[in-house]
Every structure is written in C-alpha cells, then in structure tokens.
Chain A
Amino acid sequence: QKEVEQNSGPLSVPEGAIASLNCTYSDRGSQSFFWYRQYSGKSPELIMSIYSNGDKEDGRFTAQLNKASQYVSLLIRDSQPSDSATYLCAVASGGSYIPTFGRGTSLIVHP
C-alpha cells in the first residue's frame, strides 16, 4: 500500500511569516511530486510540481524534495490570510504512475 503522510494540522502562522508544510511518502519508486491548494468547498488547484532533488521556487512558494529521506516540503514565504487553505501533497509512483494524495494540512494565516 503506497502511502502519503501529512500532518493534518491546523498549522497556524502570523501574517508575513514563513509557513512550512511537510509530506512523507512510502514508495521509493516515486517519480513525481505535487502540491495542491484546496479552499474550503472548492476543488484542488495545482501550486507546484517537482521531479528532482533540491529546491524549486515559484514566487512566494518553494518546494523541496529529498528522495533519500522520502520527504517533500512546501515553504510559503510572506504568508497572507488568503493562503489559508488545505494543502495537499500528491505523489505519482514510477511504473504505472498512479497518483496518491495525502489527507492534507490545514493552514491558517492570521492577521
């Protein structure tokens, strides 16, 4: 059973701070990693994708991947109240590339 683990939170940070969201996965053959944001009552929307070890930056978002330790993280700099949402980590394994989602981490950015 391929698993993707996330702390359900909520993670509460003040406005302007850095929010750090973490995800671990069980399948060492995983090839593709995604972070989605899901506002309450809405569908997931893609924020970042990462495929190789290291950091990938896009605006205020940085995804970090460490395949040896089997974790992927998302950093949100200068957090805004509008960033308050559930962040879902998704992992696609090698071979048939079946995507698996974690249960998500709830982020609350308070003014």
Chain B
Amino acid sequence: EAGVAQSPRYKIIEKRQSVAFWCNPISGHATLYWYQQILGQGPKLLIQFQNNGVVDDSQLPKDRFSAERLKGVDSTLKIQPAKLEDSAVYLCASSFLGADTEAFFGQGTRLTVV
C-alpha cells in the first residue's frame, strides 16, 4: 500500500513570495489533514477535509493561506504572501474515516522563508 505522497520535499522562498504544496493521500482515505510543525513544537492542525468538504479550518490564517481538495483526493496548500514566521515543515496526513482513526503522515515539505 502506497503511503501519503507530498511534494516538494524542500522549498526556499523570499518573504512576500507565494508557494504551493501538494499532497496525495493513501487510496481510500476520506480524511485529509494539513499540519504545520515549527521546529521544537508539535504539529498544529491547519485544515481538515472530509472527502472534498472542510471539517475544520479554524487555525488556518485565511488572509494568506488557502487549501483545496478537488474531487476528494489530492490536495494543495498555498501561502501567499509568505512571511518569515511561516518557516516550518508542512505535513499532510490522511485517515480512513475521521480523526478517531489512525492518521498516516507524509514525509512533509520543509519551507524556509528568507
């Protein structure tokens, strides 16, 4: 069974530029999560999708972050414009049903904003 795929693995951009991350969840997993993990901290949920609907995006900075999950499969997370404090690892995870079932993580995208 293939795992959660993410790309790119690394990205360096200047502040005020835009960036997009892509995630392909495990086949058949209805729930998809985007987390932000700053060095030394635990993952912070940005947005949770159930199929192609948003379950929760209360911690997503909507003035600069956006995410979509078209057709209930792949997802993209975009930051525009980026700030220095956005430097973090962006983790995508998926689970078969909701958060009461185990989530599996992709390798993450390490974003550095300079």
Contact = CB atoms under 8 A, between A and B. Distances in A.
Contact of A97 (B35, B41, B99, B105): B99
Nearest to A104: B42
B45 A99 contact: yes
B72 interface: no
A92 B104 contact: no
Given A43-B91, A43-B105, A44-B105, A97 B43 contact: no
Contacts of A34: 102-103
Interface string B41-85: 111110010000001100000000000000000000000000000
A46 interface: yes
Q: Chain B interface mostly helix, strand, loop or mixed?
A: loop
B21 interface: no
Contacts of A57: none
Contacts of A102: 42
Nearest to B58: A98
A16 B35 CA distance: 34
Contacts of B48: 98-99
B114 to A, nearest CB: 20
Contacts of A44: 43, 91, 105
B107 interface: yes
A42 B72 CA distance: 26
Contact of A101 (B43, B56, B100, B107): B43
Interface of B: 33, 35, 40-45, 48, 55-56, 91, 98-108
